[in-house]
Amino acid sequence: MLKRTLTCLLIAVSTYLNADVPLITNVSARNITSLNGKWNYIVDPLENGFLDYRLEPHKNGFFKNQKPTNPSQLIEYNFDTSPHMTIPSDWNTKDEKLFFYEGSVWFKKDFTHQKKTNNKTYIYFGAVNYRASVYINGELAGHHIGGYTPFNFDITDLLVEGKNFVVVRVNNNRGKDEVPTVNMDWWNYGGITREVMLVDVPSVFVEDYQVQLAKNNKGLIAGWVKLNAAKAGEAIVVEIPELKIKQQIKTDQNGLANFQIKAKPILWSPKNPKIYEIVVSKADESITDQIAFRTIETKGKDILLNGEKIFLSGISVHEEAPYRQGRAWSKDDARTLLGWAKEMGCNFVRLAHYPHNETMVREAEKMGLMVWSEIPVYWTISWTNEGTYNNAKKQLHDMVYRDKNRGAVVIWSIANETPHGEARDKFLSNLATYARTLDNTRLLSMAMEVNHLPNHVNVVEDNMNEYVDIISFNEYMGWYDGRGTSEDCRVATWKIPYNKPIVVSEFGGDALQGLYGDKIERWTEDFQEELYIRNVEMLSKIDGLAGVSPWILKDFHSPRRQLFGIQDWFNRKGLISDQGIKKKAFYVMQNWYKTKNN
């Protein structure tokens, strides 16, 4: 009852607060002050800091950061004497008492700020899982719902000269009507899981822009620049120094300026991940970005990168830190995870099952890895709930908004393993149509399910086939599907009645690193190795196979995995252990990819 009351209250309040303040594009290139580091925190399982004992909103909750003004005043919390947690992080692995905790935790950070005339200041969060309420100096800045997308609030009028404080209430309770829903196969890491920063910008600033090759034209760079205000006649310069491009454009009455520039850039590819420096500027600001140019399309059952057929030699990746446990977020995390993918021979990563941090996407681009990016419409969502759809739609918007200039992103995915049905088809078809309005230059897909018929016949038939560019599906032949041995792969046949490229978005099975035995003994590296050998043989025979992303790069925490001595709260399907040790199946994929990429 408490959880439901609180969730409804947050949703109602957020409809008229700053929840929909537009995101600032390429925030790290602005005038920023990092708020990463030590934050005080208070665990609040009964919502004492937000609601009074009648479950009404508390006017003097923890967000006020109160201090006693006299010795007899009763205040039953104190951030300054509370423990510290390093942010970004998750509380599950930073405080052993909170490993299984789902609920509310309050975080507080002191900072100093110098106010500037004719400037705005925003507070930007890379992600907070799952609900965030942000307060500046005891006043509400806004709410956000969704654990994997960035958000920011204009806090100009809430700041004072000198000392300030920010308090964030974070709640990661799962909910039936949320995205993702209550049932999922990854850890529900709670906390401020990505970077936090203050962003100072001019009163009228470049809020957003897009720079890319025009669709179906490799000789034309096209795009637009948008101000945060409807100001006409603002002069903006777009530069690509290496291509000797410098073009001035002016905004229209909506604060928008479009441009087209003839050019022949070197096209980005996994073998040559060429990236250009782009500068977007006006009189009082200059923003530098790194952008790759490439084309991506399908023709029949082929995927074409820059007009040439390419096989997506991939791996699925969770945002789970290498070596240490917990949520990954840093450049070092990204380089390690993606470095393992490159070592395997990958040219492609499926970032599942939610938008990963921006650093991960940018590092993939630098390293020559194509990216599949996905929203957490996962398993059985509340298909008929309007709020659930709007939540998914907002997360889709924010995923595309943030990464639309990343050439490495070649596939937007709108769902994973969802059950067939009229309500589901309406939900997903509407999402797919909306995705096309946001970006019609990339490929659209979703991870479908397989229907297993008698006589080892496997069928992929889905009403969503007409809405996607790639037919993707998850199969676990030899682990969940069939009789549960690798022999199932030898006799399996496939029926996929679509003239579109096929990407097998998941396959595999569990193995505890260091456990060896017969190849028919589950949980051993030998079983997993044999399973991969037979799956690769089977999948290679599928007509139109254009890529794979087996499940998964490394072992990851999951509350569904309870087998003591084997799983110990880990999904063990990783080709690399949670300690960074490669399993035997890693080398099966490495050897196969050598043949695919040559």
**Per-residue confidence (pLDDT) for residue 20, from 0 to 100:** 57
* Same-domain check for residues 378 and 483: yes
Are the C-beta atoms of 508 and 531 separated by less than 8 Å?
A: yes
* Same-domain check for residues 360 and 410: yes
Element (H, E) at 107: strand 104-113
Are the C-beta atoms of 31 and 199 separated by less than 8 Å?
A: yes
* Same-domain check for residues 188 and 157: yes
* Same-domain check for residues 185 and 222: no
**Per-residue confidence (pLDDT) for residue 121, from 0 to 100:** 97
**Per-residue confidence (pLDDT) for residue 484, from 0 to 100:** 76
CA dihedral (212, 215, 216, 222) positive or negative: negative
Q: Could you report how far apart the first and last alpha carbons of the chain are, in Å? A: 59
Instruction: Please identify, among 293, 317, 347, the residue that sits at the C-terminal boundary of a domain.
Output: 293
Residue 208 lies in a domain: no
Residue 207 lies in a domain: no
Residue 415 lies in a domain: yes
**Per-residue confidence (pLDDT) for residue 182, from 0 to 100:** 95
Tell me: the pLDDT tens digits for 371-409?
999 999 999 999 999 999 999 999 999 999 999 999 999
Indicate the pairing of strand 139-145 with strand 220-227: unpaired
**Per-residue confidence (pLDDT) for residue 143, from 0 to 100:** 96
Tell me: the pLDDT tens digits for 540-563?
999 999 999 999 999 999 999 999
**Looking at the predicted structure, is the pLDDT value of residue 308 above 60?**
yes
* Same-domain check for residues 224 and 240: yes
Residue 426 lies in a domain: yes
Tell me: the pLDDT tens digits for 335-378?
999 999 999 999 999 999 999 999 999 999 999 999 999 999 99
Instruction: Please identify, among 293, 327, 350, the residue that sits at the C-terminal boundary of a domain.
Output: 293
What is the arithmetic mean of pLDDT over 454-458? Answer: 89
**Per-residue confidence (pLDDT) for residue 598, from 0 to 100:** 67
Are the C-beta atoms of 540 and 584 separated by less than 8 Å?
A: no
Average pLDDT, the chain: 94
* Same-domain check for residues 503 and 571: yes
* Same-domain check for residues 504 and 536: yes
| Cβ-based neighbours of 4, under 8 Å, separated by 6 or more | none
* CA proximity to 573, closest of 557, 551, 548: 551
C-alpha count within 13 angstroms, C-beta hemisphere, residue 202:
14
Residue 212 lies in a domain: no
* Residue 495 CB coordination number (10 Å): 11
**Per-residue confidence (pLDDT) for residue 4, from 0 to 100:** 47
Q: What is the CA radius of gyration of the chain?
A: 25
* Residue 587 CB coordination number (10 Å): 14
d(CA 231, CA 254): 6
This prediction has a pTM of: 0.95
Tell me: the pLDDT tens digits for 229-281?
999 999 999 999 999 999 999 999 999 999 999 999 999 999 999 999 999 99
**Looking at the predicted structure, is the pLDDT value of residue 14 above 80?**
no
What is the arithmetic mean of pLDDT over 557-576? Answer: 97
Burial of 462 (0-12, 13-18, 19+ CB in 10 A): buried
Percentage, residues of the chain above pLDDT 90: 91
* Same-domain check for residues 190 and 261: no
Residue 211 lies in a domain: no
**Per-residue confidence (pLDDT) for residue 486, from 0 to 100:** 85
**Per-residue confidence (pLDDT) for residue 576, from 0 to 100:** 98
| Cβ-based neighbours of 566, under 8 Å, separated by 6 or more | 510, 512, 515, 523, 572
* Same-domain check for residues 360 and 264: no
For residue 134, the cross-strand partners are 142, 168
CATH number at residue 228: 2.60.40.10
One-letter amino acid at 335 equals R
Are the C-beta atoms of 180 and 353 separated by less than 8 Å?
A: yes
Number of domains comprising the chain? 3
d(CA 303, CA 92): 41
DSSP string, 560-575: T---TTTTTTEE---S
Helices (H) and strands (E) counted in the chain, each on its own, are 9, 33
Are the C-beta atoms of 273 and 292 separated by less than 8 Å?
A: yes
Element (H, E) at 363: helix 358-367
**Looking at the predicted structure, is the pLDDT value of residue 9 above 60?**
no
d(CA 494, CA 451): 10
* Same-domain check for residues 140 and 277: no
**Looking at the predicted structure, is the pLDDT value of residue 16 above 60?**
no
Tell me: the pLDDT tens digits for 309-330?
999 999 999 999 999 889 999 9
Place of tokens 């595309």: 400
* Same-domain check for residues 454 and 339: yes
* Same-domain check for residues 106 and 223: no
Residue 74 lies in a domain: yes
Instruction: Please identify, among 231, 266, 293, the residue that sits at the C-terminal boundary of a domain.
Output: 293
**Per-residue confidence (pLDDT) for residue 481, from 0 to 100:** 80
Domain range holding 229?
217-293
**Per-residue confidence (pLDDT) for residue 548, from 0 to 100:** 98
CATH number at residue 572: 3.20.20.80
Write out the two tokens for 260: 């087209």
What is the arithmetic mean of pLDDT over 63-69? Answer: 95
CATH number at residue 113: 2.60.120.260
d(CA 90, CA 320): 11
**Looking at the predicted structure, is the pLDDT value of residue 17 above 60?**
no
One-letter amino acid at 481 equals D
- The SS3 of residue 86 is strand
- The SS3 of residue 483 is coil
Tell me: the pLDDT tens digits for 19-43?
557 999 999 999 999 999 999 999 9
* CA proximity to 369, closest of 287, 324, 305, 322: 305
Write out the two tokens for 339: 């470095």
Indicate the pairing of strand 104-113 with strand 37-43: antiparallel
Identify each DSSP E strand in 217-336 by its residue range.
Answer: 220-227, 235-240, 245-250, 256-262, 276-282, 285-291, 296-299, 302-305, 308-309, 312-317
Tell me: the pLDDT tens digits for 498-540?
999 999 999 999 999 999 999 999 999 999 999 999 999 999 9
- The alpha carbon of 452 is separated from its chain's Cα centroid by a whole number of angstroms, namely 31
Residue 497 lies in a domain: yes
Place of tokens 């990954």: 328
**Looking at the predicted structure, is the pLDDT value of residue 86 above 50?**
yes
Instruction: Give, in order, the Cα–Cα distances in Å from 485 to each of 136, 154, 234, 237, 585.
Output: 57, 56, 66, 61, 16
